[in-house]
Amino acid sequence: MHPLPANPFNDPAEDVRLLESARAGNLPALDALIRRHQPWVFNLALRMVWRRETAEDATQEILLKVVTHLGSFAGRSKFSTWLYRIAVNHLLNVRKSEMEEQKMTFTDLGRSLDDCGEAELPDESLLPAGHALLVEEAKLGCITAMLMCLDRRQRLAFILGEVFGMPSEDGGEVMEISADNFRQLLTRARRDLYQFMQGKCGLVNQLNPCRCSKKATAFMARGWLDPKRRHFTQQRLGQVAEVAPSRLHELQGMERSHAALYRDAPFADSTDVAARLRSVLATSPFGKD
């Protein structure tokens, strides 16, 4: 497991230092700048598109846009705000993911969970991964599928505000809306998501019969969970809560347990997108004397 990355939102001066050095033609500084933000962009994309491979492609495309448009950054905002505005615009306009194509509503998801049934997991010796890992993958896949029932703007506001703990002023600036509008988007996302979880999810309401340990086998049978190609439990850096500031103080009672599920989810690592961009960097103006 790699060490957890620093939160780049906490140290804008380091962005400025690396940016100035990169603009002076220092490729290692540009590489460091990309690596500094890559995990955050990837974790945003993973929660937006659900599949790891699609999220890695989106991360590469976003960071390529950042690299090729670096000269247009005028310094009128923090560098991180500019970068995540690019990420947000890309994720708002990118082709719909496999999950989004299904146009799944919370009603549809609830029906699917009911219809897929429940079963005990097979003996661990017959599986390529242990029971605990598969149950965790089932849980994370399910709560991420819940996010896919939100529209893209609500989903972005929830990930930025609830999961990453971004203040409404910063979230609004990134999404190019007012802080009040950002808070409204976040409030609606919380309401719709938590209402569904309260009525369906056994993790937040023990009266609900749905249990991740009973759903994992059914998810594998339906092709929703591939134990050999896990989307959420491989290349785990740590928990989101370890690196992102918390907004749980804004919530009351039961809502805290809903939010904690998303903040206790993994802060995932991706393949080395920065390395995949090196061919671009080598031919960019930053690579020339």
- Which tens digits make up the pLDDT trace of 206-245? 899 999 998 999 898 888 888 888 888 777 667 787 887 7
| DSSP 3-state of 201 | strand
Q: Per-residue pLDDT tens for 121-178?
A: 889 888 888 898 889 889 988 999 999 999 999 999 999 999 999 999 999 999 999 9
For residues 91 and 50, give the distance between their C-alpha atoms in angstroms, rounded to a whole number.
12
Q: What is the pLDDT of residue 252?
A: 62
Residue 2 lies in a domain: no
Q: Has residue 180 got a pLDDT over 90?
A: yes
* Domain count of the fold of the chain: 1
Residue 178 lies in a domain: yes
Q: What is the pLDDT of residue 8?
A: 80
Residue 257 is classified by DSSP as H
Q: Has residue 285 got a pLDDT over 60?
A: no
Q: How confident is the model at residue 96 (pLDDT cuts 50, 70, 90)?
A: low
Q: How confident is the model at residue 119 (pLDDT cuts 50, 70, 90)?
A: confident
Residue 47 lies in a domain: yes
Residue 189 lies in a domain: yes
Q: What's the pTM?
A: 0.86
Q: Per-residue pLDDT tens for 27-42?
A: 889 989 998 999 899 9
Q: What is the pLDDT of residue 245?
A: 75
Q: How far apart are the first and last CA of the chain?
A: 37
Q: Has residue 287 got a pLDDT over 70?
A: no
Q: What is the pLDDT of residue 59?
A: 94
β-bridge mates for residue 201, sequence order: 210
Q: Per-residue pLDDT tens for 48-79?
A: 988 888 889 999 999 999 998 998 898 889 99
CA distances from 4 to 208, 249, 274 (A): 35, 24, 17
| Spatial contact of 198 and 205, defined as CB atoms under 8 Å apart | yes
**Domain of 58?**
8-287
| Per-residue buried b or exposed e for 59-96, using 16+ beta carbons within 10 Å of the residue's own CB | bbbbbbebbeebeeeeeeebbbebbbebbbebbeebee
Residue 186 lies in a domain: yes
Average pLDDT, the chain: 86
Q: How much is the average pLDDT of 86-110? A: 84
For residues 224 and 264, give the distance between their C-alpha atoms in angstroms, rounded to a whole number.
22
Q: Has residue 278 got a pLDDT over 70?
A: no
What CATH number has the domain bearing residue 117?
1.20.140.160
Q: What is the pLDDT of residue 170?
A: 93
H helices of the chain, in order, are: 12-23, 27-49, 52-68, 79-93, 98-101, 106-115, 131-147, 152-158, 168-175, 179-200, 212-221, 240-243, 254-263, 273-276, 278-283
| Spatial contact of 210 and 204, defined as CB atoms under 8 Å apart | no
